[in-house]
A and B are shown apart, each in its own frame.
Chain A
Amino acid sequence: MTSKEKLEMEKMVVVEGSYAVAHAVKVCRPNVISAYPITPQTHIVEGLSQFMADGEIPNCEYINVESEFSALSALVGSSAVGARCYSATTSQGLELMHEVLFNVSGMRLPIVMTVVNRAVSAPINIWNDQQDSISQRDTGWIQLYAENLQEAADMIAQAYKIAEDKEVLLPAMVCMDGFILSHVYEPVILLEQELTDKYLPPYEPLYKLDPKKPMTFGALADPNYYTEFRYLQQKAMENALKKIESAANEFYEIFGRYYGGLIDEYQTEDADIILMAMGSIAGTIKDTIDNLRQNGVKVGLLKVRAFRPFPAEAIRKTIKDAKVVVVLDKNISLGLNEGALFTETKSCLYNTKNRVPVVGYMIGHGGRDIRMCTIEKIISEAQEIMKSGIKIESQFTDVREELI
């Protein structure tokens, strides 16, 4: 063990994922927190409430709203006044926010929100998949996905850095898998206040609601003006591509931790088979890869950290020499029979010379356990595709035929 590793070990504490996130929010010095309780997000907002009760978050107000709709609506007002704002939600709560999500992005308010990913009703189900945040794909929010507790916590600071950048000014969702990350205890390094202050300067809004300098927010834009608002949001998303990378790099310089920028790669250099996925499933895939590599299977992982903006260029570059690409999605577009990452990965290759076969597996719906043996089976099917081509382009994984 190097002395640096030893020092890091000493800093580690074993905490629940939700606590690590709540602590990260605290050291980012928010001014207004507004949230409504919903499983499995509750431990985050309980943690923040306790920090408030103990006077540990200075210059901050916590609003106990009556719904998720009002949780985010309140932050529209707060952010417009110039406050750094935070909320957390999941599943039904996120879907209830749908209308407000568009509004926040359209008004270019850099609110950061944790989405503790959970399945969407009906049937009601409190366990993990990523249908909730994927369903909000087009609302104009940056979407980042964390693999483990440390990344979920560290991503909060990175998200503020990206969202508040003057060339971006877009809201950001930090997505973490429900229960798998939110309720698990792991050793993590809690973000240090001093280092976080160095990394994340106070939020200085370009425009704000101020009686000394009256401005109109949320005006009506008729057909002469509406298009340009959308165009500028798209430009801001494009700017965010660079900022997500630089936020990760600057984070590494100050904290010494790095998980990739837009994407991260694991054993992809010589890989014939590249798996793509988002969130905690990356850990299971990496363990599976380690096992299979011992048997000489050339397989690697492309972990997508940023789903919006979509990292098309980074994906194209990473998979350029692969012989087959396998995309795992914890979501489905019903009627298309594809997960979103799969559809968009195919889309970003279409007008290129790369004709690599791409197949999709929808997996882990409603919290169904994803085992290493399942990943192994998927990889063995990919080996067949290398030999004899695609037979099934996109499919459900682990369907219990006996129940149908």
Chain B
Amino acid sequence: MKHLFVSGHRGCAGCCDAMATKFTLMGAGENCIVVSPTGCLEVMTTPFPESSWNVPWIHSLFENAAAVASGIEAALKALGKKDNTRVVAIGGDGATMDIGLQAISGAFERGHDFTYVCIDNEAYMNTGVQRSSGTPFDASTTTSPAGKISFGNPRPKKNMPAIIAAHGSPYVATTSLGYAKDMINKVKKATETVGPTYIHCHAPCTTGWGFDTSKTVEVAQMAVKTGLWPLFEMENGEITKVRKIGKPAPVEDYLRMQSRFKHLFTKEGGEEEIAKIQAIADKNIEYYGL
């Protein structure tokens, strides 16, 4: 099999971006054009004059990947070159859920035939682990640090898949780096579906979350097993498939693996906070029927 994303990039050992990109391209195939907004992925894969990309790739700005993808799709149509060429945007949670949200909304509303993949590592890792709207409740980041009067990020994650589904997208799915086949298959399905489709990948960041570089997959799997990260597919706004998790693991097992949550185990009142996070998982389990 031809490698579409090759080694030699500057990603950390155990980098979630590198894994997610590899799986994305395995699902999309070589007849694709990739757009990346600004972020770790762009910085680490294209230090001029080198590139890790064996597919055509473009980076423009932080907040405009979906607009650039719109333009690529429109140009391919106008020039009679669309055929089966897939247009794929791959962006981080900040580029997707915060600064790029308007451009994404526009592109999905207009119905361009493209797939947007969000690699959600739950903070601005490229700039040094600052909080984004993908940062989970009580995670300590450099701009939502735990402190004497704080347990870290005071807000839950923004529900991005629901926002995209509300645009009438024919296919929206969540996936996780803990389940490579799940991701490859979902990207394949998304890129084969005509219209604007969306994949939201939960992607543990060794540097930002604070775990050993060998544990990326394990941490990702634990998020799914606790119910904190439900895996599902939505077609035309309806949930059509959910990955069952059996007997859920307690969220404590997931939180203990990462230093961004360590204050919950050392600070007075941490137990109540962990209970609140357990409540988030319980709600997911009930809502999605995990």
**Which A residues contact B (CB, under 8 angstroms)?**
31-32, 34, 59-61, 63-67, 69-70, 73-83, 85, 99-100, 103, 107, 209-211, 213-222, 225
A354 → B minimal CB distance (Å): 43
Contacts of B80 in A (CB 8 A): 59
Q: What's the Cα separation between A78 and B68 when bound, in Å? A: 7
Q: What's the Cα separation between A31 and B77 when bound, in Å? A: 9
Contacts of B43 in A (CB 8 A): 220
Contacts of A215 in B (CB 8 A): 56-57
Q: What's the Cα separation between A265 and B107 when bound, in Å? A: 47
Contacts of A59 in B (CB 8 A): 78-80
Interface pair B56/A225, CB less than 8 Å apart: no
Contacts of A34 in B (CB 8 A): 71, 74
Interface pair B79/A225, CB less than 8 Å apart: no
Contacts of A103 in B (CB 8 A): 60-61
What would 13 A/B residue contacts be, using CB atoms closer than 8 Å? A31-B79, A65-B110, A70-B103, A77-B35, A77-B70, A77-B74, A79-B75, A81-B33, A210-B56, A216-B56, A217-B59, A220-B47, A225-B48
User: Does B58 reach chain A (CB closer than 8 Å)?
Assistant: yes
* Known contacts A214-B53, A219-B47, A219-B51: A63-B33 contact under CB 8 Å: no
Contacts of A225 in B (CB 8 A): 48-49
* Known contacts A211-B33, A215-B56: A73-B61 contact under CB 8 Å: yes
Interface pair B61/A78, CB less than 8 Å apart: no
* Known contacts A69-B63, A70-B106, A73-B60: A216-B74 contact under CB 8 Å: no
User: Does B55 reach chain A (CB closer than 8 Å)?
Assistant: yes
- Count residues of chain B with CB under 8 A from any CB of chain A: 46
Contacts of B68 in A (CB 8 A): 73-74, 76-77
User: Does B96 reach chain A (CB closer than 8 Å)?
Assistant: no
User: Does B192 reach chain A (CB closer than 8 Å)?
Assistant: no
Q: Which of A32, A76, A82, A219 contacts B64 (CB 8 A)?
A: A76
Interface string of B51-91 (1 = CB under 8 A from A): 10111111111011011111111111111110001000000
Interface pair B110/A81, CB less than 8 Å apart: no
Interface pair A211/B46, CB less than 8 Å apart: no
Given contacts A73-B71, A82-B75, A211-B33, 13 further A-B contacts (CB under 8 A): A31-B79, A32-B75, A67-B103, A76-B64, A77-B71, A81-B72, A83-B78, A211-B85, A214-B57, A215-B57, A216-B53, A219-B46, A220-B46
Interface string of B191-223 (1 = CB under 8 A from A): 000000000000000000000000000000000
Q: What's the Cα separation between A83 and B35 when bound, in Å? A: 17
Contacts of A107 in B (CB 8 A): 60
Q: What's the Cα separation between A289 and B118 when bound, in Å? A: 63
Interface pair A73/B67, CB less than 8 Å apart: yes
User: Does B238 reach chain A (CB closer than 8 Å)?
Assistant: no
Interface pair B78/A211, CB less than 8 Å apart: no
Q: What's the Cα separation between A381 and B182 when bound, in Å? A: 78
Interface pair B72/A221, CB less than 8 Å apart: no
Interface pair A67/B48, CB less than 8 Å apart: no
Interface pair A66/B106, CB less than 8 Å apart: yes
Most-contacted residue by chain A among B61, B74, B80 (CB, 10 A): B74
Q: Which of B34-54 contact A (CB under 8 A)?
A: 35, 42-43, 46-49, 51, 53-54
User: Does B31 reach chain A (CB closer than 8 Å)?
Assistant: yes
Q: What's the Cα separation between A85 and B57 when bound, in Å? A: 20
Interface pair A83/B46, CB less than 8 Å apart: no
Q: What's the Cα separation between A81 and B34 when bound, in Å? A: 12
Q: What's the Cα separation between A220 and B32 when bound, in Å? A: 21
Interface pair A77/B48, CB less than 8 Å apart: no
Most-contacted residue by chain B among A32, A59, A85, A219 (CB, 10 A): A219
